[in-house]
């Protein structure tokens, strides 16, 4: 799924201003999909957007998002982009839902007949603006200082050893590609089964430590 970096502050206060031409049709499609989305799907859309922010774009696959929201896989990415832009506008300024959609409409990203659905979703989020802002601030804080994980892809490769005209051994290895939000900071690597098993154990241990820290913080803030 495409990843977008929206500015949280602009001189004009309008994140839609100056949007690259190649993205305009993508967002137009997203606002069209949002206009058709039933209100019963707003909660799931908001949850998916926030999960995407908190995971730095490493959220759900488009097919999974499409199934949960009842939209086509081709509309899932554009829909999330449009919804994400509304969330960021709400959490980075004091503008109303109507004003946010008016800014997008002024940039010709949605038509008159699509405003009502977009405003309805923005109004749905309005009641939870403070919590959304806090969640985004936590996501931004966790990404400070070092490059953040943007993409982690994996595949299995079979290494074959020949003994003359016969195969004498076949070893599967994991091939991983890691990309970050910093320019040029990417890595390709391979791992054996024991290394994968150790990595899983180490990650599970770190996840447990994060959960312990979160529980401790919640007791201190309550």
Question: Is the domain of 127 the same as that of 158?
Answer: no
Asked, for residue 36, whether it belongs to a domain, the answer is yes
**CA dist., res. 131 & res. 124, Å (int):** 13
pLDDT at 89: 86
Asked, for residue 180, whether it belongs to a domain, the answer is yes
Q: Of the ranges 37-51, 123-137, 174-188, which is most confident?
A: 37-51
Q: What percent of the chain has pLDDT over 90?
A: 38
Tell me what the mean pLDDT of segment 70-90 comes to. 89
Asked, for residue 53, whether it belongs to a domain, the answer is yes
The structure tokens listed for 16 are 């839609």
Round the average pLDDT of the chain to a whole number and report it. 83
pLDDT at 7: 46
Question: Is the domain of 119 the same as that of 170?
Answer: no
Tell me what the mean pLDDT of segment 12-32 comes to. 81
Tell me what the mean pLDDT of segment 186-190 comes to. 91
pLDDT category of residue 36 using cuts at 50, 70 and 90: very high
Tell me what the mean pLDDT of segment 79-96 comes to. 87
Question: Is the domain of 25 the same as that of 72?
Answer: yes
Buried b (16+ CB within 10 A) or exposed e, 94-123: ebebeebbbbbbebebbeeebbebbbbbbe
Task: Identify the domain containing residue 168 by its residue range.
Answer: 149-221
**Total of domains in the chain:** 2
Asked, for residue 12, whether it belongs to a domain, the answer is no
Q: Which of these three, 73, 107, 142, is where a domain ends?
A: 142
CB 60 within 8 A of CB 48: yes
Question: Is the domain of 157 the same as that of 176?
Answer: yes
Tell me what the mean pLDDT of segment 87-115 comes to. 89
pLDDT at 83 over 50: yes
Q: Which of these three, 110, 142, 174, is where a domain ends?
A: 142
Question: Is the domain of 35 the same as that of 128?
Answer: yes
Q: Which of these three, 101, 119, 142, is where a domain ends?
A: 142
Cα Rg, the chain, nearest whole Å? 21
pLDDT at 2: 47
Question: Is the domain of 118 the same as that of 175?
Answer: no
């Amino acid at each position: 799924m495409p990843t977008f970096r929206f500015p949280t502050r602009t001189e004009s206060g309008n994140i839609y201003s100056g949007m690259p031409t190649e993205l305009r049709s993508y967002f137009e499609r997203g606002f069209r999909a949002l206009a058709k989305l039933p209100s019963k799907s707003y909660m799931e859309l908001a949850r998916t957007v926030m999960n995407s922010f908190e995971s730095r774009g490493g959220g759900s696959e488009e097919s999974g998002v499409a199934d949960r929201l009842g939209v086509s896989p081709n509309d899932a990415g554009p829909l999330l982009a449009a919804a994400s832009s509304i969330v960021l506008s709400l959490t980075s300024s004091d503008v109303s839902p109507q004003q946010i959609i008016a800014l997008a409409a002024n940039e010709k990203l949605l038509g008159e007949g699509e405003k009502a659905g977009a405003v309805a979703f923005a109004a749905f989020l309005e009641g939870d603006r403070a919590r959304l802002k806090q969640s985004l601030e936590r996501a931004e804080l966790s990404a400070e200082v070092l490059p953040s994980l943007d993409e982690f892809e994996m595949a299995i490769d079979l290494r074959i050893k020949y003994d003359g005209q016969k195969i004498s051994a076949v070893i599967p290895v994991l091939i991983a590609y890691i990309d970050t939000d910093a320019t040029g900071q990417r890595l390709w690597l391979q791992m054996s089964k024991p290394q994968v098993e150790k990595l899983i154990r180490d990650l599970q241990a770190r996840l447990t430590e994060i959960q312990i820290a979160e529980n401790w913080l919640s007791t201190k803030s309550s």
